[in-house]
């Protein structure tokens, strides 16, 4: 019945406890995690979309969490402008600066991509965790890791409003809710890691992302459809009634939208995107359809067993 999770939800109404529970998101407080995730997105994009997509100049991340590290890895790979869009301000300057220093070392040493031994739950899985020399060539890294550029990235973190002819720009927008925070058709790559399962209004969000993306831009999203520890079985969140779920959510501004894979696919297509890659992982160990709440009982076998998906989508396929 999820009693302990319901109690957790009720506790969010107590101001102090609620604040404590909303403290951290997990992954991006580790530079190695950020490095691993950025390179996974880049490698997946290269294999699905080809060379042209591997050097995005303007990037936007949804839900960076504890640090801006994944986007900083994007800047260290050559991007010039990075928008970080969140609804809670988890990241701060000192953590970002520490992560940046560690990332510079990882890129300079061309460290292999940290794999499942180190981050067992990180997705997508890759066929190889070698450093992607074919994408981040020596020539490209020499430019993107120059001391002047690293200094510009530091300055952009410390003083983001000082934009006078800086070669690098960072904008951390929290909360981002207004679609006017980014100019239409201005982004080359929009990405997110373990975020789209949390977004409350998915249809509106996908429509907004469509407007922001350049005509030849692309999106790269890793989505985790699991219960995030809120039930015994990985898909147990689909067994809760709407009322129970409301109690579990409590006062949190977001929790899980509980939408399965097919909802994302439908909304992406309705917004005008073409899905060019959807690397899914399946898990048959969870609840059966009969055990789900009435709202979810009609879901397809594919939805019931799709635990994660890495979705790459283009605005205007060529
Ligand atoms: C599980 S954390 C993932 C953080 C990070 N991407 C990582 O890989 O560790 C989910 C993040 O999504 C953010 N989030 C939730 N709703 C959002 C929304 N509507 N727009 C942007 N970010 C959102 C949360 O604030 C949080 O930073």
pLDDT for 95-121, tens place per residue? 999 999 999 999 999 999 999 999 999
Counting ligand 1 atoms within 8 A of each CB, the residue from 38, 65, 197, 228 with the most, and so the one to mutate, is 65
Q: How far apart are CA 58 and CA 105, in angstroms?
A: 23
Q: How far apart are CA 22 and CA 42, in angstroms?
A: 30
Question: Per residue in 14-71, pLDDT tens?
Answer: 776 656 556 677 799 999 999 999 999 999 999 999 887 778 999 999 999 999 999 9
Query: Which atom of ligand 1 is nearest the CA belonging to 90?
Result: 27
Give the 3-state secondary structure of 170-216: EEEECCCCCHHHCCCCCEEEEEEECCCCCCCCHHHHHHHHHHHEEEE
Compute φ and ψ for 166, nearest 5 degrees: -70, 140
Cα(21) to centroid of ligand 1, in Å? 15
Please report the pLDDT score of residue 259 as a whole number.
98
Q: How far apart are CA 26 and CA 33, in angstroms?
A: 10
Please report the pLDDT score of residue 157 as a whole number.
94
The DSSP bridge partners found for residue 183 are none
The CB density around residue 282, as the number of other CB atoms within 10 Å, is: 12
Q: What is the DSSP letter of 62?
A: E
The DSSP bridge partners found for residue 172 are 84
Nearest to 18 by CA among 243, 188, 249, 233: 249
As a residue count, the chain comes to 318
Cα(198) to centroid of ligand 1, in Å? 7
Please report the pLDDT score of residue 317 as a whole number.
53
Please report the pLDDT score of residue 89 as a whole number.
93
Both structure tokens of 234: 């990985």
Cα(141) to centroid of ligand 1, in Å? 29
Q: Give percent above pLDDT 90 in the chain.
A: 84
In this structure, the residue with its CA closest to atom 23 of ligand 1 is: 63
Q: How many CA atoms lie within 13 A of 293 on its CB side?
A: 14
Q: Which range (28-32, 104-108, 161-165, 196-200) has the least confidence?
A: 161-165
Counting ligand 1 atoms within 8 A of each CB, the residue from 40, 73, 87, 196 with the most, and so the one to mutate, is 87
Nearest to 238 by CA among 174, 286, 270, 188: 286
Q: What is the DSSP letter of 114?
A: P
Query: Which atom of ligand 1 is nearest the CA belonging to 201?
Result: 19
Q: Which range (104-108, 159-163, 228-232, 245-249) has the least confidence?
A: 159-163
Q: Which range (51-55, 74-78, 203-207, 232-236) has the least confidence?
A: 51-55
The CB density around residue 51, as the number of other CB atoms within 10 Å, is: 9
Q: How far apart are CA 152 and CA 218, in angstroms?
A: 26
In this structure, the residue with its CA closest to atom 16 of ligand 1 is: 199
Query: Which atom of ligand 1 is nearest the CA belonging to 192?
Result: 6
Q: State mean pLDDT over 173-191.
A: 95
Both structure tokens of 131: 């450093």
Query: Which atom of ligand 1 is nearest the CA belonging to 88?
Result: 25
Q: How far apart are CA 93 and CA 121, in angstroms?
A: 27
Around ligand 1, the residues with Cβ closer than 6 Å are 25-28, 62-65, 85-88, 90, 193-195, 198-199, 254
Indicate the pTM of the whole model: 0.94
Both structure tokens of 57: 């100049």
């Amino acid at each position: 019945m999820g009693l302990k999770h319901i109690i957790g939800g009720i506790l969010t109404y107590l101001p102090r406890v609620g604040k404590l529970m909303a403290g951290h998101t997990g992954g991006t407080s580790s530079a190695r995690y950020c490095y691993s995730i950025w390179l996974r997105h880049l490698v997946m994009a290269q294999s699905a979309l080809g060379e042209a997509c591997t050097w995005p100049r303007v990037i936007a991340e949804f839900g960076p969490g504890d640090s801006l590290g994944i986007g900083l890895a994007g800047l260290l790979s050559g991007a010039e402008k990075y928008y970080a869009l969140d609804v809670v301000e988890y990241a701060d300057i000192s953590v970002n600066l520490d992560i940046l220093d560690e990332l510079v070392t990882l890129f300079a040493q061309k460290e292999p991509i940290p794999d499942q031994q180190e981050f067992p739950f990180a997705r997508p899985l890759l066929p190889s965790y070698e450093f992607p020399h074919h994408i981040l060539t020596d020539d490209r890294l020499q430019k993107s890791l120059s001391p002047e550029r690293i200094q510009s990235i530091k300055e952009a973190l410390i003083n983001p409003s000082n934009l006078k002819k800086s070669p690098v720009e960072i904008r951390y927008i929290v909360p981002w809710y207004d679609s006017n925070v980014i100019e239409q058709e201005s982004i080359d790559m929009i990405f997110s890691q373990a975020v789209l399962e949390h977004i409350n209004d998915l249809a509106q969000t996908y429509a907004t992302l469509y407007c922001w993306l350049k005509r030849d831009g692309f999106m790269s999203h890793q989505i985790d459809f699991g219960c995030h520890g809120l039930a015994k079985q990985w898909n147990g969140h689909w067994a809760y009634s709407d009322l129970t779920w409301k109690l579990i959510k409590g006062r949190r501004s977001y929790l899980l939208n509980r939408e399965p894979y097919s909802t994302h696919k439908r909304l992406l297509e309705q917004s005008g995107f073409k899905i060019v890659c959807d690397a899914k992982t399946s898990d048959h160990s969870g609840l059966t359809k009969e055990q789900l709440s009435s709202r979810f009982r009609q879901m397809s076998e594919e939805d019931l067993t799709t635990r994660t998906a890495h979705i790459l989508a283009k605005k205007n396929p060529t």
